Structure 1
Amino acid sequence: MSGFTEFLYELFSNTILLSGVVGWLTAQVIKTIIFAITNHGINWSRLVGDGGMPSGHSATVTAIAVSCGIQDGFDSPVFAVACIMAIIVMHDAMGVRRETGKQSEVLNHLVEVVYSKTLSPEEKLKEFVGHTPLQVFFGFLLGLVIALIMNF
């Protein structure tokens, strides 16, 4: 095997990495479908956007952490690091990032009222940046299922 071929083989054999990628992709597709159903139209930016149901961040980090636990043991240092990082990411999604989205919504509205002008999409601050606890929970569940499927 050539060096590049071996690299690709190793990359696509990495179940931990693939679990995270599949977790994120699955969450983003589900999020796009839910958004389309609830808003009666598709918004392709939801495929890569933040916020929404389920949390792609939570699905990704949970799939990675659980895969680490399955492969290296739930008592391993690798699982411990992945688990703590997952907790930090999920907490941040519900805390700072969610508050940032709320503040953006208020500021966008304030600018429109004070200046009597409708902001263009380019001028508006991003409002979909964080997650509700329910969105994080369903992202967690999705990541757990993905990890189990990918590893067994």
Structure 2
Amino acid sequence: MMSVIASNPLLNIAVISWFVAQVIKTALNWAANGHLNLERLTGSGGMPSSHSSFVVSLAIGMARVEGYQSPLFAMTLVFAAVVMYDAMGVRRAAGEQAKTLNHLIGNFQDFFEFLKDHPLLDFDDEEFSADADDDMTGENRKVLKEFLGHTPLEVLAGALLGILIAMIYPL
């Protein structure tokens, strides 16, 4: 089964495009931040868009195999357009909302600590103690992922990378 999947050139093009985009994304993140973050190898968001690279390379590979008049090429092209639109729209908006929520929750924690220790306010410590199961306060708070979507430039870079890899891959 795995040998059949591995021998599919269109799948190989898509996986190679995704992998190259993730490696480039990780390297750019390393260069910008000065430390290697291996989560970027599998994480979404960032430059270039691996989602765009993945779907565009599949569409171009399909065009090379089946022709530009093929219904299969049309289907993969529409699929690529939907994925790229989603990456710039809904997923990017969700990432922006995550940034805002993380900021608000952090500020709320600071305000909460200020109130708890304020000498003029008499609150029961039991009311304001951080519950170990409460994910919104203290050390246990889960930070929302902010790298979800892409800017138009990141999507364009991923699409160009996908085109390049699909065009140079031997079929």
Fold shared, TM-score > 0.5 on shorter chain: yes
Q: Secondary structure at the match of 2:148?
A: coil
What residue in structure 2 maps to residue 124 of structure 1? 143
CA deviation vs aligned residue, 1:28-59 (integer Å, no higher than 9, x gap): 00000000000111100000000000000000
In the alignment of these two chains, the number of paired residues is 146
SS of alignment partner, residue 33 of structure 1? helix
- TM-score normalised by the chain length of structure 2: 0.81
- Taking a change above 3 Å as real, the CA distance of residues 63 and 111 of structure 1, as seen in their structure-2 partners, is same
The correspondence of residues 30-109 of structure 1 with structure 2, limited to 5 A, is 30-109=24-103
Asked if structure 2 preserves the Cα contact closer than 8 Å seen for 1:112 and 1:119, the reply is no
Runs of 4+ off more than 4 Å: 117-122
Deviation at 1:129, TM superposition (A): 0.3
TM-score normalised by L of structure 1 = 0.90
Alpha-carbon RMSD across the aligned residues, in angstroms, is 1.7
Structure 2: gaps spanning 5 or more residues:
114-136
Structure 2 CA distance for aligned equivalents of residues 103 and 55 of structure 1: 19
Give, in whole Å, the separation in 2 of the partners of 1:18 and 1:112: 43
Deviations 1:51-107 (A, max 9, x none): 000000000000100000000011101101000000000000000000000000000
User: Kindly, what percent of the aligned residue pairs are identical?
Assistant: 44
Q: By how many angstroms is 1:8 displaced?
A: 4.2
Question: Cα 1:120–1:98, aligned 2, differ >3 Å: closer, same or farther?
Answer: farther
